[in-house]
Chains A and B, each alone.
Chain A
């Protein structure tokens, strides 16, 4: 393949990944690395470098909108970013130490877990929880607009959430993904932050987390301009279009299809990682 063909095909694939990621709310980053390694035969280190860059672009683009609407909680984001950025640095250094097979194996497990999480029904938000001492001291309790009023919430289990965030950051740095699923798990399940606030705050944090490992990736030569360019522009265009045409009725089916795609890619990554085909 020559540069023009490669750029066009990778650009189209990335556009589709960004579009589906935004439409389903599952994020496009998670399918990019399998797409590049399995179909375009790209070395996994170049693939995670390009993917990480696109994660910063989509997260910053989307966060710009959410922050203005007042859904994300800047203090929760800032506090938890201490955990995610340290985790991301550790993850990025790990990525330079372990073999491609190990990265592919872990990637496969994360894909399978994401597919499972996408199918699991979400428990209802618990409302009116009592204020937690540590959360109150850290000024994490917040509010967001809902049904024309402001809905208040009290944050719980700060140490658990903080530790989970370290894990989310490490996965992000190791695999070049946003790991929004783990971030939402930490905020939504452990810290009992309402779903709308945790998804938007997670999105807000993803860019900073990814920037913490991007420096290491750049210095180690993982970010190739010829590859990162179509990936970043494609994913950005796809996700921007996806957020514009959010169609309520068809997201259920789309989520199911995308979850199956993620699971199939997960099995393939796991197989390649264990059998050493990368």
Chain B
């Protein structure tokens, strides 16, 4: 490993660290904001998680989540926050492609693209998410 590469690695690590922290703080804030609305409106509703019935499309598709979050629904905002959380590692991987490309490391650009494709497939391809 030569000096230029190590220096580049350190810089990428710094940016990745900031990216991860920002993503977590942002998503936790959106979840907490949604939680306050949800708790005020639904505090007295009885909970039942004993039987699984899945979630409505408002909370399982990106379009549905954006729509209900835009309408300031508590649960929709919470889902939006969780979606931002899931997107944080995805953004980290996407950024790494650029980082490895900067270092002209073709092998790792390929590896990273493979991981990104798998992640995007999970989000968009695994069950008509849009």
Residues of A within 8 A of B (CB): 1-4, 6-7, 40-43, 45-46, 53, 56-57, 60-61, 63-65, 67-68, 70, 72, 74-75, 78-79, 81-82, 85-86, 88-89, 92-93, 138-139, 141, 207-208, 210-216, 218-230, 232-233, 236
B43 A236 Cβ-Cβ under 8 A: no
Interface residue tally on B, bucketed by range: 35 or more
Contact with A along B76-105 (1 / 0, CB 8 A): 101100110110111011001000000001
Please count the residue pairs between chain A and chain B whose beta carbons lie under 8 angstroms apart in the complex: 209
Which residues of A are found within 8 Å of B127, using beta-carbon distances? 216, 219-220
B59 to A60, Cβ gap below 8 A?
A: no
The answer to whether B122 touches A216 (Cβ under 8 A) is yes
Contacts of B49 on A, CB cut-off 8 Å?
Answer: 40-43, 46, 224, 227
Q: Is B1 an interface residue (CB 8 A)?
A: yes
- A-B residue pairs in contact (CB < 8 Å), sample of 19: A4-B44, A40-B49, A43-B49, A60-B85, A64-B18, A65-B17, A74-B16, A78-B96, A78-B108, A89-B126, A93-B126, A207-B20, A211-B89, A222-B54, A222-B55, A223-B79, A225-B82, A226-B78, A229-B34
Contacts of B18 in A (CB 8 A): 64
Q: Most chain-A CB neighbours within 10 Å: which of B9, B42, B115?
A: B115
CB distance from A59 to the nearest CB of B (A): 8
13 additional A-B pairs beyond A57-B27, A89-B118, beta carbons within 8 Å, are A7-B35, A56-B86, A60-B23, A64-B24, A78-B115, A85-B118, A207-B20, A211-B89, A215-B86, A215-B126, A216-B122, A218-B82, A224-B49
A223:B44 contact, CB within 8 angstroms: no
Chain B's closest residue to A62 (CB) is B20
Give Cα A3–Cα B41 distance, bound, in whole angstroms.
10
Considering the complex, give the chain B residue whose CB is closest to the CB of A72: B13
Q: Is the CB–CB distance between B107 and A138 below 8 Å?
A: yes
Shortest Cβ gap from B38 to chain A (Å)? 7
Q: How far is the CB of B93 from chain A (nearest CB, A)?
A: 6
Q: A53, A218, A222, A236: which has the most chain B beta carbons within 10 Å?
A: A218
The CA-CA distance from A6 to B49 in the complex, in Å, is 11
Task: Please name the residue on chain A nearest to B79 by beta carbon.
Answer: A225
Give min CB distance, A103 to chain B, whole Å.
Answer: 12
- Let me know if A212 and B54 touch, CB within 8 A: no
* Cα of A85 to Cα of B122 in the assembled complex, Å: 10
Tell me whether B79 and A75 are in contact (CB under 8 A).
Answer: no
> Is B66 in contact with chain A by the CB < 8 A criterion?
no
B98–chain A nearest beta-carbon distance, Å: 13
Distance between Cα atoms of A65 and B21 in the complex (Å): 8
Q: Are A56 and B60 in contact (CB under 8 A)?
A: no
